[in-house]
A and B are shown apart, each in its own frame.
Chain A
Protein backbone atom coordinates (compact mmCIF):
# COMPACT_ATOMS: atom_id res chain seq x y z
CA UNK A 1 0.00 0.00 0.00
CA UNK A 2 1.80 3.09 -1.02
CA UNK A 3 5.40 3.89 -1.53
CA UNK A 4 6.67 2.58 1.80
CA UNK A 5 7.14 -0.92 0.52
CA UNK A 6 9.10 -0.01 -2.56
CA UNK A 7 11.91 1.82 -0.75
CA UNK A 8 14.86 -0.24 0.54
CA UNK A 9 15.57 -0.12 4.25
CA UNK A 10 18.79 1.80 4.20
CA UNK A 11 17.38 5.13 2.93
CA UNK A 12 16.06 7.77 5.38
CA UNK A 13 13.56 10.25 4.04
CA UNK A 14 12.37 13.23 6.03
CA UNK A 15 10.96 15.71 3.57
CA UNK A 16 9.09 13.02 1.71
CA UNK A 17 7.66 11.80 5.00
CA UNK A 18 6.46 15.28 5.86
CA UNK A 19 4.85 15.73 2.48
CA UNK A 20 3.09 12.39 2.54
CA UNK A 21 1.78 13.00 6.04
CA UNK A 22 0.62 16.49 5.09
CA UNK A 23 -1.24 15.10 2.12
CA UNK A 24 -2.85 12.37 4.19
CA UNK A 25 -4.03 14.58 6.99
CA UNK A 26 -5.37 17.46 4.95
CA UNK A 27 -7.66 15.35 2.82
CA UNK A 28 -9.02 12.63 5.04
CA UNK A 29 -12.33 11.24 3.98
CA UNK A 30 -14.46 10.32 6.94
CA UNK A 31 -16.77 7.35 7.01
CA UNK A 32 -20.28 8.31 8.01
CA UNK A 33 -20.86 6.01 10.93
CA UNK A 34 -23.31 7.85 13.11
CA UNK A 35 -25.15 5.55 15.46
CA UNK A 36 -27.02 7.62 18.06
CA UNK A 37 -27.08 11.09 19.64
CA UNK A 38 -23.45 11.89 18.89
CA UNK A 39 -24.27 11.55 15.21
CA UNK A 40 -26.50 14.61 15.44
CA UNK A 41 -23.65 16.64 16.90
CA UNK A 42 -21.41 15.32 14.15
CA UNK A 43 -23.99 16.51 11.61
CA UNK A 44 -24.03 19.90 13.33
CA UNK A 45 -20.28 20.06 12.95
CA UNK A 46 -20.79 19.65 9.23
CA UNK A 47 -23.40 22.37 9.31
CA UNK A 48 -22.92 26.02 8.47
CA UNK A 49 -21.96 27.33 11.93
CA UNK A 50 -19.08 24.97 12.71
CA UNK A 51 -17.83 24.13 9.29
CA UNK A 52 -15.90 20.91 8.75
CA UNK A 53 -15.21 21.56 5.11
CA UNK A 54 -12.29 23.80 6.03
CA UNK A 55 -10.52 20.68 7.30
CA UNK A 56 -10.90 19.01 3.95
CA UNK A 57 -13.40 16.58 5.41
CA UNK A 58 -16.64 17.56 3.79
CA UNK A 59 -16.75 14.48 1.59
CA UNK A 60 -18.46 11.92 3.81
CA UNK A 61 -18.27 8.57 2.13
CA UNK A 62 -21.03 6.03 2.77
CA UNK A 63 -18.93 3.09 1.64
CA UNK A 64 -16.10 1.85 3.85
CA UNK A 65 -13.93 0.95 0.87
CA UNK A 66 -13.51 4.62 0.02
CA UNK A 67 -12.95 6.12 3.45
CA UNK A 68 -9.94 6.43 5.70
CA UNK A 69 -11.20 7.95 8.94
CA UNK A 70 -13.91 6.21 10.97
CA UNK A 71 -15.65 8.36 13.56
CA UNK A 72 -17.58 6.01 15.83
CA UNK A 73 -20.30 8.36 17.03
CA UNK A 74 -22.73 6.82 19.47
CA UNK A 75 -23.31 3.80 21.65
CA UNK A 76 -22.32 0.41 20.26
CA UNK A 77 -24.75 -2.29 21.28
CA UNK A 78 -23.92 -5.98 21.47
CA UNK A 79 -25.91 -6.68 18.32
CA UNK A 80 -24.01 -4.02 16.36
CA UNK A 81 -20.49 -4.94 17.54
CA UNK A 82 -19.69 -7.61 14.91
CA UNK A 83 -20.86 -5.21 12.21
CA UNK A 84 -18.52 -2.47 13.44
CA UNK A 85 -15.62 -4.91 13.33
CA UNK A 86 -16.48 -6.03 9.83
CA UNK A 87 -16.73 -2.47 8.55
CA UNK A 88 -13.38 -1.61 10.14
CA UNK A 89 -11.75 -4.56 8.42
CA UNK A 90 -13.19 -3.47 5.08
CA UNK A 91 -11.48 -0.10 5.21
CA UNK A 92 -8.16 0.02 3.33
CA UNK A 93 -4.90 1.07 4.99
CA UNK A 94 -3.90 3.67 6.23
CA UNK A 95 -6.90 4.18 8.48
CA UNK A 96 -7.60 5.99 11.70
CA UNK A 97 -10.39 5.77 14.26
CA UNK A 98 -11.82 8.52 16.44
CA UNK A 99 -14.07 7.35 19.25
CA UNK A 100 -16.54 10.18 19.78
CA UNK A 101 -18.47 10.55 22.98
CA UNK A 102 -18.55 8.78 26.29
CA UNK A 103 -20.52 5.73 25.13
CA UNK A 104 -18.07 4.82 22.39
CA UNK A 105 -15.04 5.41 24.62
CA UNK A 106 -16.06 3.53 27.74
CA UNK A 107 -19.74 2.65 27.77
CA UNK A 108 -20.92 6.02 29.03
CA UNK A 109 -23.87 6.13 31.40
CA UNK A 110 -25.13 2.74 30.22
CA UNK A 111 -23.35 0.00 32.15
CA UNK A 112 -25.54 -3.02 31.46
CA UNK A 113 -26.09 -6.17 29.44
CA UNK A 114 -26.78 -4.46 26.15
CA UNK A 115 -23.96 -1.97 25.55
CA UNK A 116 -20.35 -2.76 24.70
CA UNK A 117 -18.22 -0.98 27.29
CA UNK A 118 -15.98 0.90 24.93
CA UNK A 119 -15.43 0.35 21.22
CA UNK A 120 -11.72 -0.18 21.85
CA UNK A 121 -12.56 -3.71 22.93
CA UNK A 122 -12.96 -4.65 19.28
CA UNK A 123 -11.04 -2.13 17.16
CA UNK A 124 -7.89 -0.06 17.83
CA UNK A 125 -8.61 3.61 18.54
CA UNK A 126 -6.42 6.67 17.96
CA UNK A 127 -8.24 9.56 19.62
CA UNK A 128 -10.90 9.57 22.32
CA UNK A 129 -13.19 12.60 22.44
CA UNK A 130 -15.11 12.85 25.74
CA UNK A 131 -18.51 14.45 26.22
CA UNK A 132 -22.13 13.45 26.17
CA UNK A 133 -22.49 14.57 23.40
CA UNK A 134 -19.22 16.44 22.72
CA UNK A 135 -19.62 19.97 21.47
CA UNK A 136 -18.61 20.60 17.85
CA UNK A 137 -15.59 22.53 19.11
CA UNK A 138 -14.52 19.46 21.11
CA UNK A 139 -14.74 17.26 18.05
CA UNK A 140 -12.70 19.74 16.05
CA UNK A 141 -10.08 19.77 18.79
CA UNK A 142 -9.95 15.99 18.56
CA UNK A 143 -9.41 16.22 14.83
CA UNK A 144 -6.59 18.71 15.28
CA UNK A 145 -4.92 16.36 17.74
CA UNK A 146 -5.26 13.64 15.15
CA UNK A 147 -3.48 15.89 12.67
CA UNK A 148 -0.59 16.26 15.12
CA UNK A 149 -0.45 12.52 15.47
CA UNK A 150 -0.50 11.87 11.74
CA UNK A 151 2.24 14.38 11.05
CA UNK A 152 4.54 12.52 13.44
CA UNK A 153 4.00 9.11 11.89
CA UNK A 154 7.06 7.46 10.35
CA UNK A 155 6.84 6.67 6.69
CA UNK A 156 8.07 3.16 7.01
CA UNK A 157 6.83 0.63 9.46
CA UNK A 158 3.36 -0.18 10.61
CA UNK A 159 1.89 3.24 10.47
CA UNK A 160 -1.55 2.02 11.33
CA UNK A 161 -0.79 -0.32 14.20
CA UNK A 162 2.36 0.95 15.86
CA UNK A 163 1.17 3.75 18.05
CA UNK A 164 -2.34 2.49 18.63
CA UNK A 165 -3.78 0.77 21.63
CA UNK A 166 -4.33 -2.88 20.84
CA UNK A 167 -7.92 -4.07 21.05
CA UNK A 168 -9.01 -5.85 24.18
CA UNK A 169 -6.30 -4.59 26.51
CA UNK A 170 -6.18 -1.35 28.48
CA UNK A 171 -2.98 0.69 28.05
Chain B
Protein backbone atom coordinates (compact mmCIF):
# COMPACT_ATOMS: atom_id res chain seq x y z
CA UNK B 1 0.00 0.00 0.00
CA UNK B 2 2.76 2.39 0.88
CA UNK B 3 4.62 1.16 -2.21
CA UNK B 4 1.91 2.38 -4.54
CA UNK B 5 1.75 5.74 -2.75
CA UNK B 6 5.49 6.18 -3.19
CA UNK B 7 5.44 5.21 -6.85
CA UNK B 8 2.54 7.65 -7.42
CA UNK B 9 4.45 10.39 -5.59
CA UNK B 10 7.50 9.91 -7.78
CA UNK B 11 5.46 9.71 -11.01
CA UNK B 12 3.55 12.88 -10.19
CA UNK B 13 6.35 15.14 -9.03
CA UNK B 14 9.72 13.78 -10.14
CA UNK B 15 9.17 11.58 -13.17
CA UNK B 16 12.19 13.11 -14.92
CA UNK B 17 14.49 12.37 -12.03
CA UNK B 18 13.91 8.62 -11.65
CA UNK B 19 16.15 6.41 -13.77
CA UNK B 20 14.68 3.09 -12.73
CA UNK B 21 12.83 1.35 -9.89
CA UNK B 22 14.17 -1.87 -8.42
CA UNK B 23 12.54 -4.48 -6.16
CA UNK B 24 14.75 -7.22 -4.72
CA UNK B 25 13.64 -9.46 -1.83
CA UNK B 26 10.74 -7.10 -0.93
CA UNK B 27 12.92 -3.99 -0.82
CA UNK B 28 12.01 -0.96 -2.92
CA UNK B 29 14.81 1.23 -4.34
CA UNK B 30 14.66 4.28 -6.59
CA UNK B 31 17.65 5.19 -8.73
CA UNK B 32 17.58 8.96 -9.29
CA UNK B 33 19.83 11.51 -10.94
CA UNK B 34 22.30 13.22 -8.57
CA UNK B 35 21.10 16.79 -9.29
CA UNK B 36 17.61 16.09 -7.97
CA UNK B 37 18.56 14.57 -4.62
CA UNK B 38 18.00 17.57 -2.37
CA UNK B 39 14.64 18.43 -3.94
CA UNK B 40 13.38 14.87 -3.73
CA UNK B 41 14.38 14.54 -0.09
CA UNK B 42 12.88 17.87 0.84
CA UNK B 43 9.60 16.94 -0.83
CA UNK B 44 9.52 13.60 0.98
CA UNK B 45 10.30 15.29 4.30
CA UNK B 46 7.58 17.93 3.91
CA UNK B 47 4.88 15.60 2.60
CA UNK B 48 2.38 15.25 5.41
CA UNK B 49 0.92 11.99 4.14
CA UNK B 50 4.10 9.98 3.63
CA UNK B 51 5.94 11.47 6.66
CA UNK B 52 9.42 10.23 5.89
CA UNK B 53 11.25 11.69 8.88
CA UNK B 54 13.97 9.19 9.80
CA UNK B 55 17.18 8.97 7.82
CA UNK B 56 18.58 5.69 9.07
CA UNK B 57 21.82 5.33 7.13
CA UNK B 58 24.01 6.60 4.29
CA UNK B 59 26.09 3.89 2.62
CA UNK B 60 28.59 4.02 -0.22
CA UNK B 61 29.73 1.34 -2.65
CA UNK B 62 32.63 1.08 -5.09
CA UNK B 63 31.96 -0.83 -8.29
CA UNK B 64 35.51 -0.79 -9.66
CA UNK B 65 36.14 -3.71 -11.95
CA UNK B 66 32.50 -4.79 -12.17
CA UNK B 67 30.05 -4.55 -15.03
CA UNK B 68 28.05 -1.91 -13.14
CA UNK B 69 30.92 0.52 -13.44
CA UNK B 70 29.64 2.00 -16.70
CA UNK B 71 26.76 3.76 -14.98
CA UNK B 72 29.13 5.30 -12.47
CA UNK B 73 31.85 3.93 -10.24
CA UNK B 74 30.46 5.08 -6.90
CA UNK B 75 26.99 4.52 -5.55
CA UNK B 76 25.52 6.29 -2.53
CA UNK B 77 22.48 4.75 -0.86
CA UNK B 78 20.09 6.65 1.40
CA UNK B 79 18.07 4.50 3.78
CA UNK B 80 14.79 6.25 4.58
CA UNK B 81 12.10 5.14 7.01
CA UNK B 82 8.60 6.38 7.68
CA UNK B 83 7.53 5.92 11.31
CA UNK B 84 3.85 6.42 10.51
CA UNK B 85 3.61 3.66 7.93
CA UNK B 86 6.49 1.52 9.26
CA UNK B 87 7.93 1.30 5.77
CA UNK B 88 11.52 1.41 4.63
CA UNK B 89 12.80 2.26 1.15
CA UNK B 90 16.06 3.28 -0.49
CA UNK B 91 17.16 6.11 -2.76
CA UNK B 92 20.27 5.30 -4.77
CA UNK B 93 22.53 7.69 -6.67
CA UNK B 94 25.39 6.86 -9.02
CA UNK B 95 28.47 9.10 -9.21
CA UNK B 96 31.36 9.18 -11.70
CA UNK B 97 34.97 8.24 -10.98
CA UNK B 98 36.70 11.59 -11.12
CA UNK B 99 35.63 14.19 -8.57
CA UNK B 100 32.50 12.52 -7.15
CA UNK B 101 30.39 15.16 -5.49
CA UNK B 102 26.79 15.41 -4.32
CA UNK B 103 24.59 17.72 -2.24
CA UNK B 104 24.63 17.37 1.49
CA UNK B 105 21.46 16.65 3.47
CA UNK B 106 22.53 18.40 6.66
CA UNK B 107 19.95 21.12 6.12
CA UNK B 108 17.15 18.56 6.52
CA UNK B 109 18.49 15.94 8.92
CA UNK B 110 21.03 16.56 11.68
CA UNK B 111 22.09 12.92 11.56
CA UNK B 112 23.59 13.38 8.09
CA UNK B 113 26.50 15.28 9.61
CA UNK B 114 28.52 12.34 10.94
CA UNK B 115 27.25 9.82 8.38
CA UNK B 116 28.47 11.97 5.49
CA UNK B 117 31.79 12.60 7.20
CA UNK B 118 32.31 8.87 7.43
CA UNK B 119 31.50 8.37 3.73
CA UNK B 120 33.97 11.12 2.85
CA UNK B 121 36.68 9.65 5.06
CA UNK B 122 36.39 6.06 3.92
CA UNK B 123 35.34 6.43 0.29
CA UNK B 124 36.34 9.96 -0.78
CA UNK B 125 32.97 11.31 -1.92
CA UNK B 126 32.57 15.04 -1.30
CA UNK B 127 29.35 16.61 -0.03
CA UNK B 128 28.63 20.18 -1.11
CA UNK B 129 27.27 22.35 1.67
CA UNK B 130 28.49 20.28 4.60
CA UNK B 131 29.58 22.52 7.50
CA UNK B 132 32.63 20.53 8.62
CA UNK B 133 33.84 17.90 6.15
CA UNK B 134 36.95 16.45 7.81
CA UNK B 135 38.22 12.98 8.70
CA UNK B 136 36.43 11.20 11.47
CA UNK B 137 37.64 7.62 11.84
CA UNK B 138 41.08 7.16 10.29
CA UNK B 139 44.23 8.76 11.74
CA UNK B 140 45.33 12.11 10.33
CA UNK B 141 48.45 10.74 8.69
CA UNK B 142 46.68 8.06 6.67
CA UNK B 143 46.45 9.19 3.05
CA UNK B 144 43.90 7.80 0.74
CA UNK B 145 40.47 6.37 1.27
CA UNK B 146 40.54 2.86 2.77
CA UNK B 147 37.30 1.39 1.49
CA UNK B 148 38.07 1.97 -2.18
CA UNK B 149 38.88 -1.17 -4.09
CA UNK B 150 42.31 0.08 -5.14
CA UNK B 151 43.48 0.67 -1.56
CA UNK B 152 45.38 -2.43 -0.35
CA UNK B 153 44.36 -4.32 2.79
CA UNK B 154 47.93 -3.91 4.13
CA UNK B 155 48.11 -7.49 5.32
CA UNK B 156 51.38 -8.16 7.17
CA UNK B 157 52.77 -11.66 6.61
CA UNK B 158 53.38 -13.25 10.06
CA UNK B 159 56.98 -14.18 10.83
CA UNK B 160 57.53 -17.85 11.53
CA UNK B 161 60.83 -19.59 12.06
CA UNK B 162 61.58 -20.02 8.37
CA UNK B 163 61.24 -16.35 7.47
CA UNK B 164 62.06 -14.61 10.70
CA UNK B 165 65.25 -13.04 9.43
CA UNK B 166 63.60 -11.50 6.38
CA UNK B 167 62.31 -7.95 6.66
CA UNK B 168 58.56 -7.82 7.36
CA UNK B 169 56.49 -8.05 4.18
CA UNK B 170 53.30 -6.12 3.67
CA UNK B 171 50.78 -6.70 0.87
The residues of A with any CB-CB pair to B shorter than 8 Å are 77-79, 106-107, 111-114, 117, 170
Whether B156 contacts A107 by the Cβ 8 Å rule is: yes
Residue of B139, B152, B159 near A79 (CB, 8 A) is: B139
Whether A78 contacts B139 by the Cβ 8 Å rule is: yes
Chain B's nearest CB lies how many Å from the CB of A78?
5
Interface on chain A toward B: helix, strand, loop, or mixed SS? Answer: loop
Can you name 10 extra interface pairs (CB under 8 A) apart from A79-B139, A112-B155, A113-B154?
A77-B139, A79-B138, A107-B156, A111-B155, A111-B158, A113-B146, A113-B153, A114-B138, A114-B146, A170-B159
Who on chain A is nearest to B154 by CB?
A113
Chain B's nearest CB lies how many Å from the CB of A18?
37
Who on chain B is nearest to A77 by CB?
B139
Interface on chain B toward A: helix, strand, loop, or mixed SS? Answer: loop
Who on chain B is nearest to A171 by CB?
B164
Whether B159 contacts A112 by the Cβ 8 Å rule is: no
Chain B's nearest CB lies how many Å from the CB of A112?
5
Cα distance A127–B152 when bound, in Å? 33
Q: Which of B153, B154, B156, B164 has its CB near the most chain A CB atoms (within 10 A)?
A: B156
Residue of B154, B158, B164 near A112 (CB, 8 A) is: B154
Contact residues on B (Cβ < 8 Å of other chain), bracket? 10 to 19
The residues of B with any CB-CB pair to A shorter than 8 Å are 138-139, 142, 146, 151-156, 158-159, 164
Chain A's nearest CB lies how many Å from the CB of B152?
8
List the A side residues contacting B139 at CB < 8 Å: 77-79
List the B side residues contacting A78 at CB < 8 Å: 139, 142
Whether A113 contacts B159 by the Cβ 8 Å rule is: no
Q: What are 23 A-B pairs with beta-carbon distances under 8 A?
A: A77-B139, A78-B139, A78-B142, A79-B138, A79-B139, A106-B158, A107-B156, A111-B156, A111-B158, A112-B153, A112-B154, A112-B155, A113-B142, A113-B146, A113-B151, A113-B152, A113-B153, A113-B154, A114-B138, A114-B146, A117-B156, A170-B159, A170-B164
Chain A's nearest CB lies how many Å from the CB of B162?
14
Who on chain B is nearest to A106 by CB?
B158
Chain A's nearest CB lies how many Å from the CB of B126?
22
The 3 closest A-B pairs by CB, nearest first: A113-B154, A79-B139, A78-B139
List the B side residues contacting A170 at CB < 8 Å: 159, 164
Cα distance A111–B154 when bound, in Å? 8
List the A side residues contacting B159 at CB < 8 Å: 170
Chain A's nearest CB lies how many Å from the CB of B117?
15
List the A side residues contacting B156 at CB < 8 Å: 107, 111, 117
List the A side residues contacting B154 at CB < 8 Å: 112-113
List the B side residues contacting A106 at CB < 8 Å: 158
List the B side residues contacting A79 at CB < 8 Å: 138-139
List the B side residues contacting A112 at CB < 8 Å: 153-155
List the B side residues contacting A107 at CB < 8 Å: 156
List the A side residues contacting B158 at CB < 8 Å: 106, 111
List the B side residues contacting A117 at CB < 8 Å: 156
List the B side residues contacting A114 at CB < 8 Å: 138, 146
Chain B's nearest CB lies how many Å from the CB of A43?
26
Cα distance A113–B138 when bound, in Å? 10
Who on chain A is nearest to B141 by CB?
A78
